[in-house]
Amino acid sequence: MLTIKSFTKFALGFISGAVLGAVLALLFAPESGSELRHDIHIKAEDQWHKATEKYQQLVKSDSAADEASDVEAIVED
């Protein structure tokens, strides 16, 4: 039987493994560190601008629920 305690341990282990895997993937990536940081910076900046634009549209919009779902879709990308 799955208890809350065992599920919590499983979830914590799963998340820890995913984070560790992502970090190791970045460390062993074929790009140099500066190229990788530059790529991450460009992508983060792009997502920031998209989120800012959607927020401005949300503030100006009467249909906040529709805009919120659009922002959620962009964030998931």
User: What secondary structure, in 3-state letters, does the chain show?
Assistant: CCCHHHHHHHHHHHHHHHHHHHHHHHHCCCCCHHHHHHHHHHHHHHHHHHHHHHHHHHHHCCCHHHHHHHHHHHHHC
Residue 1 has pLDDT above 70, yes or no: no
Q: Are 8 and 40 within one domain?
A: no
29-52: per-residue pLDDT in tens?
Answer: 777 778 878 888 898 899 999 998
Q: Are 37 and 20 within one domain?
A: no
Q: Are 37 and 13 within one domain?
A: no
Q: Are 63 and 75 within one domain?
A: yes
Domain that holds residue 65: 31-77
Q: Are 23 and 45 within one domain?
A: no
Q: Are 26 and 43 within one domain?
A: no
